[in-house]
Amino acid sequence: MKKFEEKTTKTTPIYDGKIVKLQVDDVMLPDGQVAKREIIKHPGAVAVIAVTDEGKLVLVEQYRKALERSIVEIPAGKLEPGEEPAMTARRELEEETGYGAHSLTYLQTFATSPGFADEVIHLYVAKDLYNIDNKAALDEDEFVELLEVSLEVAQSMVADQRIFDAKTAFAVLWLAAHLENNL
């Protein structure tokens, strides 16, 4: 899958932060012309479509500084170095919602912003949820509120843009397709 490959002739590091890195690559295009590509490096993330026994979607509301507002999302979090995505999924589900899952299934992986970032999200489906008594703590700079909503309420939250991010929009469509088939 290297069609129209853009070969790097030079990489200029710009910023090396806590979460993202930024670099500018000089590339040679398929026609021999040159161009610059601004690229964000990100460790990758997981997200979890967690469904209760009643068919409700488990969501968290949190403030997203980049958007300057709070939005409602499926539980998610960044991969830690060396951590298996399925472990990250279980950890984030527990930290953000207090739930464990007897059933955790890998669904698919997608890139969030392929035009400028290498971030990918590994999506999991969690079912047969149970409460964890002494749940792991959130990161010290995280503030989230737990919600559990029916498909209909989730769809209304898409309509009024309380649900506003791609992974959660995807999750709502996924739930609509799979609730009909009894998950």
Q: Other C-beta atoms within 10 Å of 39: how many?
A: 17
CA distances 174 to 96, 123, 126, Å, are 21, 11, 13
- C-alpha gyration radius of the chain: 19
Q: What is the contact mask toward a copy of itself in residues 12 to 31, using x (rule: CB under 8 A)?
A: --xx-xxxx-x-xx-x-xxx
Question: Contact region for a copy of itself (CB under 8 A) — 51-59, 90-98, 128-136, 137-145?
Answer: 137-145
68 catalytically annotated: no
Cβ 30 to a copy of itself, closest distance in Å? 5
108 binds a copy of itself (CB under 8 A): yes
Question: Which class for 58: exposed (0-12), middle (13-18), buried (19 or more C-beta within 10 A)?
Answer: buried
Cβ 130 to a copy of itself, closest distance in Å? 27
Among 9, 103, 105, 109, binds a copy of itself (CB under 8 A): 109
Cβ 162 to a copy of itself, closest distance in Å? 7
Sheet of 34-41, strand order: 7-16, 21-28, 34-41
Cα angle value 91/99/89 (rounded, 5°): 30
Among 52, 98, 100, 118, binds a copy of itself (CB under 8 A): 118
Among 9, 84, 106, 114, binds a copy of itself (CB under 8 A): 114
Cβ 77 to a copy of itself, closest distance in Å? 9
Query: Bridge partners of 25?
Result: 11, 37
Q: What is the contact mask toward a copy of itself in residues 61 to 100, using x (rule: CB under 8 A)?
A: xxxxxxx-xxx-x--x-x----------------------
Hey, is 115 helix, strand or coil?
A: coil
Report, as residue numbers or ranges, the catalytic residues. Answer: 140
